[in-house]
Structure 1
Amino acid sequence: MKALKRILPALFIGMLLVLAGCGDSSGSEEGSDESNKTIELGLNNWAENVAVSNMWKVILEDEGYTVNLNMTEKGPLYQALKSDDLDLALEVWLPHTDKPFYEDYKNDVDFHKDQTWFDGTILGLAVPSYVDVNSIEELNENKEMFEDGKIYGIDAGSSLMGLTEDVIKEYDLEYSTAASSGPAMTTQLGESIRKEEPILVTLWKPHWVFAEYDVKFLEDPKNVYGDEENISWMSRQGFTEDYPEVTEYINTWKMNDEQLGSLMNMVKEAESPAEGAQKWVDENGDLINEWLGK
């Protein structure tokens, strides 16, 4: 009986040690194996956003992550980051274009505005270079040239469309916007250029349009569209702690106009954005290895 009393505590302690060891092992593995996690990446239908989001999906999945792309408009995208339904989004234009969103969500979303991946963006109204109009101030006197005052735009809730409404007011333009989407706008632009007809569109740079067509921005003397900006990224709160490796990758990421233009062209020409992004990644291994610290 005394021997049994001595054996039972020993067995009990041994079982506790085994369980504790198992718990430590699984906890350590789960905490360190970041690559087993799934990343929900949000994007809106801007050409460069589609391109870089698909590019990072390819890169991160090559590194062992699972990346889901979630297409939405700007407003819902910010709300989804706030509610932790999305993990990150790769495009924030500051200090001007996305300022309203920044002011609304700066306490609920992590803006990595000091980590820019593209510098020197431009927003504005644009026309084919053969159109004999060079300034926004000349638009009213040429209203009949542009379908009696029609501006082909993109998503109704986008910052660019909001700024365009401000332009209409500031310049007292006798024009109205026709909201659609980025792809629909560029399709209409290409069709008009093919026919050598005038067309007025909202546009931004970087964009593959400038490599494909001879297009010019109209001068904006009142600077309603603002000065050149930089593009950074944003994430849900806590993302950088959950994904330190991915955070380091994205913070190292930098593209110039030529690199981003070539990526956007490949994505546009391919049968799918995923296929175009994969081709670009395959052809730019040295650059990507720099971002990944390899």
Structure 2
Amino acid sequence: MKKRILAAAALATAAVLGVTGCSAGASGGSGSGGDDKGEVTIGVFNGWPEGEAASYLWKSILEDKGYTVNLEYADAGPVFAGLSKGDYDVALDGWLPLTHKDYFEQYEGKIVDLGTWNKDAKLTIAVNADAPIDSLDQLADHADEFGGKIIGIEPGAGLTKATQDAVIPDYGLEDMDFITSSTPAMLAELQKALKADDNIVVTLWRPHWAYDAFDIKDLEDPKGALGDAESIHTVTSTSFADDFPEVNEWLSNFTMDSDLLFSLENVMYNTDEEIKDYTPVVEDWIAENQDYVDSLTE
């Protein structure tokens, strides 16, 4: 698992598969002729496994259909900005109504929401399963037992904003240090604490493979600071429907339930191997779920 976490850190900072940095529509779109139907650039949020898993799934599907697909990694803010300018064609990890609400409002009219593909997304605050508390309203009184720290993810993440703006003030956690860096760093700290039988509190979300890999539990949120369950949306540039009408229709109808998503995430991430390109793993998963995958482009 340690190798997997370190590999994720390296992967999240790299451009994958010869990224060009320009809009797919600018490189010819779906009318480029021959077997090459055009180049699709997918923006992938750093450290968000569900979006990366869905992106790799669609990379394999679209390449099988004759498209060239590039995956570009960035934090959520730059991806939304890139979509609004046409630098990216599509992203598969927009959370509504809370986590990415500000980005959807900021770029209204400059991006297109193709709709929901998963309805079970949830921001969480998680602790080790044997922690002495079960609810966020108990955390302030037990802060010392957690080293006075909350371990977060990327500073620009919606989860980070929700923790800073709602969780910490609502539950009186101002005296705790909220440490942000990256999702791989958070997972490394979580693994280290669990191995040492130490208490730890981290910002997390569902769906995430960590719930299968680690013995952890969510803290109850009686004040609703993290909001209700959210939906994961596909977001495109405004030119995407014209550039790639076939793909736009497929993605408009795309749905994936949490059981399928967990199974894909598990084969990608729940491993001790150092994987830099998930394509072979995803293609094996596709072969085992061929009926579902075929239905996505019918």
TM-score above 0.5: yes
CA distance in 2, matches of 1:137, 1:33: 61
Q: CA shift at 1:214, angstroms?
A: 2.4
- The CA deviation string for residues 68-124 of structure 1, in whole angstroms up to 9 with x for no partner, is 000001111111111111111011111111111111011211122xx2111121112
Contact persistence 2:118–2:256 (CA under 8 A) = yes
Residue in 1 that maps onto 2:153: 154
CA contact (8 A) 2:86 2:239 kept: no
**1:52 and 2:51 matched:** no
Task: Compute the displacement of 1:156 (Å).
Answer: 0.3
Q: Report what 1:281 is aligned to.
A: 286
Partners of 1:30 and 1:116 in 2: CA distance:
28
> 1:106–1:52: structure 2 CA closer, same or farther, 3 Å change rule?
same
Query: In the superposition, relative to structure 1, how do residues 36 and 123 fare at CA in structure 2: closer, same or farther (>3 Å)?
Result: same
Give the Cα–Cα distance (whole angstroms) in 2 for the partners of residues 248 and 193 of structure 1: 44
Quote the offset at 1:51 in angstroms.
1.3
> Residue type matched to 2:206 in 1?
K
State the Cα distance separating 1:176 from its structure 2 match: 2.2
Q: Which ranges of structure 2 fall in alignment gaps of 5 or more residues?
A: 1-27
What is the distance in 1 between the residues matched to 2:35 and 2:80? 24
Q: Give deviations 1:232-267, integer Å, cap 9, x for gaps.
A: 110000201221111122122211121101111111
Aligned residue identity for 2:222: P
CA distance in 1, matches of 2:36, 2:242: 14
Q: Secondary structure at the match of 2:156?
A: coil
Q: CA RMSD of the aligned region, Å? A: 1.8
The sequence identity of aligned pairs, in percent, is 36
Distance across 1 between alignment mates of 2:31 and 2:112: 24
Name the structure 1 match of 2:24. Answer: none
Unaligned runs of 5+ in 1: 1-26
Task: Sort the Cα spacing of 1:153 and 1:291 in 2 relative to 1 into closer, same or farther, 3 A.
Answer: same
Equivalence for 1:39: 40
Q: Which residue of structure 1 aligns with residue 249 of structure 2? A: 248
Match of 2:98 among 91, 96, 99: 96
- What secondary structure, in the 3-state scheme, does the structure 2 residue paired with 1:275 have? helix
String of CA shifts for 1:259-279, please: whole Å, max 9, x gaps. Answer: 101111111136233332222
Q: TM-score, normalised by structure 2?
A: 0.84
How many residue pairs were aligned?
263
Task: Give the letter aligned to residue 162 of structure 2.
Answer: L
Deviates more, 1:169-178 or 1:229-238: 169-178
Describe the shift of the 1:34–1:44 C-alpha distance in structure 2 as closer, same or farther (beyond 3 A).
farther
C-alpha displacement at 1:150, in angstroms? 0.8
CA shift, 1:221, in A, is 1.4
Q: Which amino acid aligns with 1:111?
A: D
Shift of 1:35: 4.8
Q: Deviations over 1:132-160 (max 9, x none)?
A: 1111111111111111x211111100100
Q: Write the letter of the residue equivalent to 1:119.
A: K
Once the two structures are superposed, the pairs formed by residues 189-208 of structure 1 within 5 Å of their partners are 189-208=190-209
Deviating 4+ runs (over 6 angstroms)? 31-34
Moved more, 263-272 or 53-62: 263-272
- Alignment pair present for 1:70 and 2:72: yes
TM-score (norm 1): 0.85
> What is the distance in 2 between the residues matched to 1:275 and 1:215?
30
Conserved 8 A contact 1:266-1:279:
no
The one-character-per-residue Cα deviations of 1:21-40 (angstroms, maximum 9, x if unpaired) are xxxxxx9x937779521011
Equivalent residue number for residue 170 of structure 1: 170
Partners of 1:202 and 1:219 lie apart in 2 by 13
1:197 is paired with a residue whose SS is: coil
